[in-house]
Amino acid sequence: MTGLLAEVGATERSGDRTHRVDNTLIRLPLQFPDRELPYKQIREKLLKGVPFDEILKEFGISPLQYDEYATQDANSPFETETIEDRPFVSSHSHKRGLTVDDFERTLVLKASGDAYRLPWIREQLFPETDVKVVHLTRNPAASTNGLYDGWRLNRGFQTYNVGDLDLEGYEGSLWCYDLPPGWISEGKLIDVCLMQWTQAHRHILNGRDAFEDVLRVRFEDVLTDTGSTIKEIVEFTNLGESALLSENVESPNKVMTTKEPRHARWRDREDLVKSALNRANETYTKVAEELEYTEESEWI
């Protein structure tokens, strides 16, 4: 990546706008690893103010792969495997270059795959660092329904090429979201989605003992008591005040959503979701109990 920046003349950065341009540029090889793109030409266009979606179209790239430009779903699944997960999030207008003070700030890791490597993060990646864990949970019905929507969304969330897939309810060729232990290539998509919810939380519950400071936060509380819940998270993590965060608490951005957010949207396909819950094994039952998601009336 450093070589790419040097090649296009970006080794001397100045200004937040230039930083945003270079951030956009350096992510292109992660988004389209099999394509030879004219990075220097793209950078010059971006610096001149040419809209990024117009540049993408010029090189035959569908802007629908980017969350910012996705006003609708793609007509068919994007089949090419990428390094950065789709839908891609653009370098937003608030992004700026790093300063010396930033190296004293809190580093936030939020990749969903971290659920499966908590002990490694604690013992090998940051063995001598103060690490706090915020365990965000959501009820199994809403989570399973959201994953199901994401799997069936043509414009994003494809992550792995695992070979042939024969999943009822899915027509794509790539695996979506995390690839947990015990994954299956045949069966019902709705069961796979519930398995992904179960395995992620099972691994978090098993790995949390490696950390002294763990805060469990229910997404339902984020929805119903946003201000107080976010304040609790900020105080626990020592993130400090942020005008940008305050703005988003008052008016949350909708990022990487599959459909318009709505409480208890899972009931639109209640029979399908409940069929998966009824088939689920003991691992699911224990996880739901440990996370205190046994009262369906609370599943918003």
pLDDT score for 34:
87
Long-range CB pairs of 290-297, under 8 A, 24+ apart, other chains included: 290/205, 291/137, 291/201, 291/205, 291/216, 293/137, 293/139, 293/140, 296/141
Can you give the pLDDT at residue 15?
A: 58
Which tokens sit at 24? 């956009």
Q: What CA–CA distance (Å, rounded) separates 60 from 107?
A: 36
pLDDT digits (tens, 9 = 90+) for 175-186: 999 999 999 999
* Region 240-254 average pLDDT: 77
Identity of the residue numbered 121: I
Confidence class of residue 11 from pLDDT cuts 50, 70 and 90? very low
∠ CA 120-121-123, rounded to 5°: 60
217 CB contacts (<8 Å, ≥6 apart)?
134, 135, 136, 137, 229, 232, 233
Domain assignments of the chain as residue spans, ordered by start: 2-61, 106-298
pLDDT at 250: 79
106-298 CATH pick, 3.10.450, 3.40.50, 3.30.420, 2.40.160 = 3.40.50
Label residue 166 by pLDDT band (50, 70, 90).
very high
Residue 216, φ and ψ in degrees, nearest 5: -95, 130
Q: Whole-model pTM?
A: 0.84
Q: Please report the pLDDT score of residue 136 as a whole number.
A: 97
CB 189 within 8 A of CB 205: no
Q: Give the C-alpha distances (Å, rounded to integers) separating 234 from 231, 242, 244.
A: 5, 10, 13
Which own/partner pairs from 29-33 qualify as long-range (CB within 8 Å, at least 24 positions apart)?
Answer: 29/1, 29/4, 29/83, 30/82, 30/83, 30/84, 31/65, 31/82, 31/83, 31/84, 31/86, 31/88, 32/61, 32/80, 32/82, 33/82, 33/83
Q: Measuring CA to CA, which residue among 21, 34, 37 is closest to residue 95?
A: 21
Q: CA–CA distance from 127 to each of 76, 108, 122, 186, 291 (Å)?
A: 45, 16, 6, 40, 28
* pLDDT, average across residues 76-98: 76
For the beta carbon of residue 209, count every other beta carbon within 10 angstroms: 11
